[in-house]
């Protein structure tokens, strides 16, 4: 038989059950992003980005699209387009000030370290923030208008840009899904040909590292799945084999240490024309797998990984319990993913500070491992603390305990979380 045995999809079930898939994978993405953001972290050699075109950013954006469909989609359908748009604008406002606050916390933390004069390394210049402190007034204006988006602070502006497109997509869906698909693909193509970009700083031609016009493709893919606009993919041996082949074939082209050892792989990586040298990335290559504008091969590679992850997770995430004791691990990861905005922001701050600590005590596998575990612990603590605050326990009677909300299966691919749950 060409097709594998059909596994019932969550939509086929009438009872509710815990489904940790969405926030489980988003939580895993948060931990990987933390690893990638900690300076001098040995474990960055083993994150998914070293073995394929796509990485944890795709997980983050795809799952945020799914979560946005849950958090905002119902408002559009039950309260109308105006109320749905108002809710989106409120969330944009919240994420905008989260971005501004995050910048100032990190910038002044690093400025404080440099101001002591006790350290050889200049931490401000390490993030290319010296321009901000040199010309504060014009760059402050740029920061507030998002025309100045420094290194490391580019994910939240990208998310803001994508959120602005949600009302447009919801309006187009009244015409039909074909109108949505045309819009999303057209905007993505505009990004590939540099027709839709945002400036990242006033003194150069640098643009936003994460172009929302490109990255909206993976966001709205997740959005469409969770909204039921796209059906769950078939469980088919041919698709499984093709997905595995895609992942395996890309490893030699993505694993940078192999490229350093074997320059001929770098030449093959250009696909259309060879590089001038082993470190020169051709324009054609950038179009295919570039991260800033979200190249096509990144999308295909991520879809292959997402398909296999969805298959391995099992119906309703039944395979993610990991046995009797594994459920505690799942609960912790799920909590981190559920509070993605808070854990992302805290993880970035903790990562920069731990990079400073490692500069002082030295890096070896022991110290770096302890730093990673410290960062994970901090993110977990923040996730549980934010969750506790969101339950507003001070409004509950003193004798009443507040149960932790449990997600339940709702549609073809995902999870129904409490209405108060936010998209990121």
Q: What digits encode the pLDDT tens for the residues 166-183?
A: 999 999 999 999 999 999
pLDDT of residue 401: 53
- Report pLDDT digits (tens) over 218-265: 999 999 999 999 999 999 999 999 999 999 988 877 765 555 555 555
Distance between CA 342 and CA 130 in Å, rounded?
27
More confident residue, 45 or 72: 72
Element (H, E) at 416: strand 415-416
Residues 6 or more apart whose Cβ sits within 8 Å of residue 203: 131
Q: Which tokens go with 157?
A: 């502006």
Out of 47-51, 205-209, 348-352, which region has the weakest mean confidence (pLDDT)?
Answer: 47-51
Average pLDDT over residues 338-360: 94
Q: What is the pTM of this model?
A: 0.83
What tokens appear for 340 in the block? 């993605």
Share the mean pLDDT of the chain. 83
Q: What pLDDT score does 278 carry?
A: 39
Mean per-residue pLDDT, 191-213: 89
pLDDT bucket at 331, cuts 50 / 70 / 90: confident
Do the beta carbons of residue 296 and residue 302 sit within 8 Å? no
Can you tell me the mean pLDDT for 149-165? 94
Q: Is the pLDDT of residue 79 over 50?
A: yes
**Which pLDDT score, from 0 to 100, does residue 253 have?**
75
282 band by pLDDT with thresholds 50, 70 and 90: very low
The sign of the CA dihedral 231, 232, 238, 239 is positive
DSSP state, 236? B
Contacts of 74 (CB under 8 A, 6+ apart): 419
* Lowest-confidence pick of 31-35, 70-74, 124-128, 416-420: 416-420
> Which pLDDT belongs to residue 277?
41
Element (H, E) at 387: helix 365-390
In which element (H, E) is residue 409 found?
Answer: strand 408-409
Contacts of residue 89, defined as CB under 8 A and 6 or more positions apart, other chains included, come to none
Task: Give a three-class secondary structure readout of 103-136.
Answer: HHHHHHHHHHHHHCCCCCCCHHHHCCCHHHHHCH
Q: What was the pLDDT predicted at 204? A: 86
DSSP 8-state symbol, 62: H
Q: Which of 70, 94, 334, 74 is nearest to 222 (CA)?
A: 70
Q: CB of 314 within 8 A of CB of 5?
A: no
CA–centroid distance for 359 within its chain: 28
DSSP helix, strand, coil percent of the chain (3-state; round to 5): 65, 0, 30
Q: Is the pLDDT assigned to residue 276 strictly greater than 60?
A: no
- 3 beta partners: 236
Percent with pLDDT over 70 in the chain: 81
* Span 365-393, pLDDT tens digits: 999 999 999 999 999 999 999 999 998 88
| Helical ranges in 230-282 per DSSP H | 237-254, 256-261, 263-268
Percent of the chain past pLDDT 90, that is, above it, reads: 55
| Structure-token match 């009797």, residue found | 324
The predicted structure's pLDDT at residue 11: 37
The residue extents of the domains of the chain are 10-390
CA torsion angle 267 269 271 275 (round to 10): -40
Least confident segment among 161-175, 271-285, 293-307, 385-399: 271-285
Local confidence band at 9 (pLDDT 50, 70, 90 cut-offs): very low
């Amino acid at each position: 038989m060409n097709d594998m045995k059909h596994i019932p999809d969550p939509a086929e079930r009438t009872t509710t059950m815990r489904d940790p898939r969405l926030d489980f994978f988003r939580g895993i993405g948060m931990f990987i992003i933390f690893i990638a953001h900690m300076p001098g972290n040995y474990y960055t050699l083993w994150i998914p980005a070293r073995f394929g075109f796509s990485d944890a950013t795709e997980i983050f954006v795809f799952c945020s699209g799914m979560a946005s469909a849950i958090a905002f989609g119902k408002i559009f359908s039950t309260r109308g387009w105006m109320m749905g748009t108002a809710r989106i604008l409120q969330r944009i406002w919240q994420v905008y000030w989260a971005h501004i606050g995050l910048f100032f916390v990190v910038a002044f933390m690093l400025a404080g370290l440099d101001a002591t004069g006790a350290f050889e390394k200049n931490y401000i210049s390490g993030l290319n923030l010296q321009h901000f402190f040199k010309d504060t007034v014009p760059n402050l204006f740029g920061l507030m208008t998002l025309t100045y988006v420094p290194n490391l602070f580019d994910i939240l502006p990208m998310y803001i840009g994508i959120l602005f497109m949600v009302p447009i997509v919801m309006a187009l869906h009244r015409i039909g899904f074909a109108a949505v698909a045309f819009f999303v693909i057209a905007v993505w193509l505009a990004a590939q040909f540099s027709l839709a970009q945002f400036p990242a700083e006033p003194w150069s031609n640098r643009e936003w590292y994460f172009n929302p016009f490109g990255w909206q493709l993976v966001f709205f893919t997740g959005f469409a799945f969770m909204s039921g606009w796209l059906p769950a993919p078939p469980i088919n041996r041919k698709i499984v084999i093709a997905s595995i082949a895609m992942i395996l074939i890309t490893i030699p082209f993505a694993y940078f240490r192999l490229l350093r050892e074997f320059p001929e792989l770098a030449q093959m990586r250009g696909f259309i024309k060879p590089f001038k040298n082993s470190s020169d990335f051709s324009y054609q290559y950038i179009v295919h797998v570039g991260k800033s504008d979200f190249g096509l091969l990144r999308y295909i590679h991520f879809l292959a990984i997402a398909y296999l992850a969805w298959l391995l997770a099992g119906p309703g995430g039944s395979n993610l319990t990991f046995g009797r004791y594994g459920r505690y691990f799942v609960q912790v990861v799920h909590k981190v993913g559920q509070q993605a905005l808070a854990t992302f922001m805290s993880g970035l701050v903790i990562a920069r500070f731990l990079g400073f600590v490692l500069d002082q005590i030295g890096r070896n596998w022991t110290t770096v491992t302890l730093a990673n575990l410290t960062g994970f612990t901090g993110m977990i603590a923040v996730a549980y603390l934010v969750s506790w605050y969101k339950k507003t326990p001070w409004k509950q009677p003193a004798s009443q305990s507040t149960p932790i909300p449990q997600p339940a299966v709702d549609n073809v691919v995902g999870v129904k979380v409490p209405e108060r749950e936010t998209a990121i």
